[in-house]
């Protein structure tokens, strides 16, 4: 599916005779599918999942075998071999079974077995502090939290990428609109110069009017070159976000055009309606806040460990024994043939443990306060961006009406000029006002759409882009 979409994208991208417009939807879809940062975001999640499997590996069953033999000067000092199958658990309990055979003149008497060896089965377990919560459990739970954190971090990375990619497309669209304004302005100024020149040749206008009209043409030519430079720069920035399936960057063709600012802005008009939902879910759904809550949860796990360490450390080990096979079945394991051990350790002052618990409590309070500050900051920032979106929408509507009025004034000034009741200066002034208003209209529309992008970024609603792709 990814490959088929890429082929379709290239056809739209380079067959300009069939379609000269790269729509925002096609563009952002290409970014989502092909951009390396999207792949890097997935790799971070995969890495954290691998670390979780690594930590869980401490609970993997294992087998162990040891063999040792010494013979010297025709004397058998010892021959020792042992086999063990063990099943560790996260709570520190280990169940094991095995076989040992230790013979020879120099073997420690407590380790000596019969020639047929000795079977063993038993359990070792912590009864005190490490039974409630131990370092194994801490490592596994923290690794599990790192997976959750990587998922939230992935959302932040994707959101930031799509925000920057959207701004690049918006800048390209604005540059194209401004280029169109300057091209139109140059055409009108050129026509106006030709008209003034003809009137001068007819003797109805002084020569200085042709100079003034031509200066307007030169000024428009200069502004057109600036607009061409801007759109070229915008295309280069845009190319930072376009990649093929082999990891090679794509350069947009010069003749390729973006979607109009008006159409692009209409795609994000629902941002204002979505704000109420995002505002209510911000505390729950925002990944930056989720990451901070995960950090607090990790400290709570450390706190459990610190509390557990204030208890006595008591370890028990019991091993049932039976002789090895000697032309008979294995004898039943009994409580009389056994090895049993107990160990206890308890610090008298508990200074280390209390200091650790105090440090964890301080860090938890610090992170909780930081969470509250970040939550308020995001809320205020989101309100600010929504207000900017609404204000720019009003300004765009105002400039749209102003452009219509400036057009009316220019047409009236042309009529007055044709009957000799106006001047080139006034005509140029009307033109300048009109084209400045058109440029300002496009810039305001771009600001409105940029504010919509900023609302999405602040709320970290990268799903808005993805839903737009699936429409």
The closest alpha carbon to 172, from 16, 28, 268, belongs to: 28
Tell me, yes or no, whether 116 and 184 share the same domain: no
- Render pLDDT for 310-365 as a digit per residue (tens, 0 to 9): 888 888 888 888 876 654 445 555 556 788 888 888 888 889 889 999 999 999 99
The CATH number of residue 265's host domain is 1.20.1600.10
Tell me, yes or no, whether 150 and 239 share the same domain: yes
Is residue 305 domain-resident? no
Under the banding of pLDDT at 50, 70 and 90, the label for residue 430 is: confident
The closest alpha carbon to 90, from 29, 149, 37, 132, belongs to: 132
Note the pLDDT of residue 18.
Answer: 45
Distance separating alpha carbons of residues 426 and 420, to the nearest angstrom: 12
Beta strands 94-103 and 118-126, pairing class: antiparallel
Tell me, yes or no, whether 208 and 269 share the same domain: yes
Q: Which residues contact 433 (CB under 8 A, 6 or more apart)?
A: 406, 409, 410
CA dist 45 to 91, 154, 156, 279, 340, Å? 27, 7, 13, 27, 45
Is residue 364 domain-resident? yes
Whether 305 contacts 138, CB under 8 Å: yes
Is residue 45 domain-resident? no
Whether 27 contacts 48, CB under 8 Å: no
Note the pLDDT of residue 255.
Answer: 79
Tell me, yes or no, whether 123 and 144 share the same domain: no
Question: Once rounded to an integer, what is the mean pLDDT over residues 44-59?
Answer: 88
Whether 256 contacts 22, CB under 8 Å: yes
Under the banding of pLDDT at 50, 70 and 90, the label for residue 171 is: very high
Tell me, yes or no, whether 182 and 101 share the same domain: no
* Residue 210, both tokens: 């042709």
Tell me, yes or no, whether 412 and 282 share the same domain: yes
DSSP 259: P
Mean residue pLDDT across the chain:
84
Distance separating alpha carbons of residues 185 and 216, to the nearest angstrom: 10
Is residue 225 domain-resident? yes
Tell me, yes or no, whether 195 and 225 share the same domain: yes
Say if residue 205's pLDDT is above 90: no
Tell me, yes or no, whether 196 and 295 share the same domain: yes
* Residue 411, both tokens: 């047409």
* Residue 114, both tokens: 């019969």
Domain hosting 450: range is 2-34+137-299+360-470
129 vs 160 pLDDT, higher one:
160
Tell me, yes or no, whether 290 and 439 share the same domain: yes
CA 249 to chain centre: 21
Radius of gyration of the chain (CA): 39
- Render pLDDT for 216-275 as a digit per residue (tens, 0 to 9): 899 999 999 999 999 999 999 999 999 888 878 888 777 789 998 888 888 887 776 777
Tell me, yes or no, whether 15 and 84 share the same domain: no
Is residue 44 domain-resident? no
Distance separating alpha carbons of residues 287 and 294, to the nearest angstrom: 10
Tell me, yes or no, whether 261 and 334 share the same domain: no
Is residue 304 domain-resident? no
- Render pLDDT for 95-110 as a digit per residue (tens, 0 to 9): 999 998 888 777 777 7
Number of structural domains the chain divides into: 2
Note the pLDDT of residue 3.
Answer: 45
Tell me, yes or no, whether 73 and 117 share the same domain: yes
- Render pLDDT for 109-155 as a digit per residue (tens, 0 to 9): 777 777 778 888 999 888 877 776 777 888 888 899 999 999 999 99
Is residue 114 domain-resident? yes
Say if residue 8's pLDDT is above 60: no
Note the pLDDT of residue 1.
Answer: 41
* Residue 169, both tokens: 């497309």
Note the pLDDT of residue 334.
Answer: 53
- Render pLDDT for 380-401 as a digit per residue (tens, 0 to 9): 888 888 888 889 889 989 989 9
Instruction: Among 22-26, 73-77, 307-311, 329-333, name the one with the lowest average pLDDT.
Output: 329-333
Say if residue 175's pLDDT is above 90: yes
Note the pLDDT of residue 325.
Answer: 60
Is residue 306 domain-resident? no
Distance separating alpha carbons of residues 305 and 310, to the nearest angstrom: 9
């Amino acid at each position: 599916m990814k490959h088929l979409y890429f082929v379709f994208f290239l056809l739209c991208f380079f067959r300009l005779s069939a379609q000269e417009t790269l729509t925002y939807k096609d563009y952002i879809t290409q970014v989502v599918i092909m951009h390396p940062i999207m792949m890097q975001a997935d790799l971070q999640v995969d890495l954290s999942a691998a670390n979780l499997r690594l930590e869980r590996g401490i609970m993997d069953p294992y087998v162990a075998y040891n063999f040792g033999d010494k013979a010297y000067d025709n004397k058998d000092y010892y021959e020792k071999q042992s086999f063990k199958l063990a099943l560790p658990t996260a709570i520190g309990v280990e169940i094991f079974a095995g076989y040992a055979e230790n013979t020879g003149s120099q073997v420690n008497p407590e380790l000596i077995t019969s020639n047929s060896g000795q079977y063993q089965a038993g359990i070792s377990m912590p009864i005190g502090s490490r039974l409630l919560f131990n370092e194994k459990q801490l490592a596994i739970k923290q690794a599990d939290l790192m997976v959750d954190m990587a998922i939230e971090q992935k959302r932040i990375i994707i959101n930031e990428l799509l925000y920057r990619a959207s701004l690049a497309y918006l800048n390209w669209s604005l540059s194209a609109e401004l280029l169109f304004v300057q091209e139109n302005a140059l055409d009108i100024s050129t026509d106006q110069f030709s008209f003034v020149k003809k009137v001068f040749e007819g003797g109805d206008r002084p020569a200085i009017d042709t100079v003034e009209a031509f200066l307007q043409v030169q000024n428009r030519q200069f502004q057109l070159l600036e607009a061409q430079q801007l759109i070229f720069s915008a295309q280069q920035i845009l190319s930072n976000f376009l990649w093929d399936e082999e990891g090679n960057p794509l350069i947009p063709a010069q003749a390729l055009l973006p979607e109009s600012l008006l159409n692009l802005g209409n795609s994000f008009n629902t941002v204002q309606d979505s704000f109420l939902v995002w505002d209510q879910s911000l505390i729950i759904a925002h990944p930056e806040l989720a990451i901070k809550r995960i950090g607090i949860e990790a400290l709570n796990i450390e706190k459990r460990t610190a509390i557990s360490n204030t208890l006595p450390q008591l370890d028990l080990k019991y091993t049932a024994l039976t002789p090895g096979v000697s032309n008979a079945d294995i004898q039943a394991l009994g409580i009389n043939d056994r090895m049993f051990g107990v160990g206890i350790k308890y610090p008298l002052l508990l200074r280390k443990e209390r200091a650790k618990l105090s440090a964890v409590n301080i860090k938890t309070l610090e992170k909780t306060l930081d969470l509250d500050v970040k939550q308020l900051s995001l809320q205020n920032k989101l309100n600010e961006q929504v207000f900017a979106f609404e204000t720019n929408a009003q300004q765009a509507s105002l400039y749209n009406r102003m452009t219509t009025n400036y057009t009316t004034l220019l047409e009236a000034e042309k009529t007055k000029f044709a009957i000799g009741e106006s001047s080139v200066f006034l005509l140029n002034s009307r033109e300048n006002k009109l084209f400045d208003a058109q440029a300002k209209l496009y810039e305001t529309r771009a600001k409105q759409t940029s504010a919509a992008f900023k609302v999405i970024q602040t709320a970290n609603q990268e799903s808005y882009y993805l839903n737009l792709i699936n429409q």
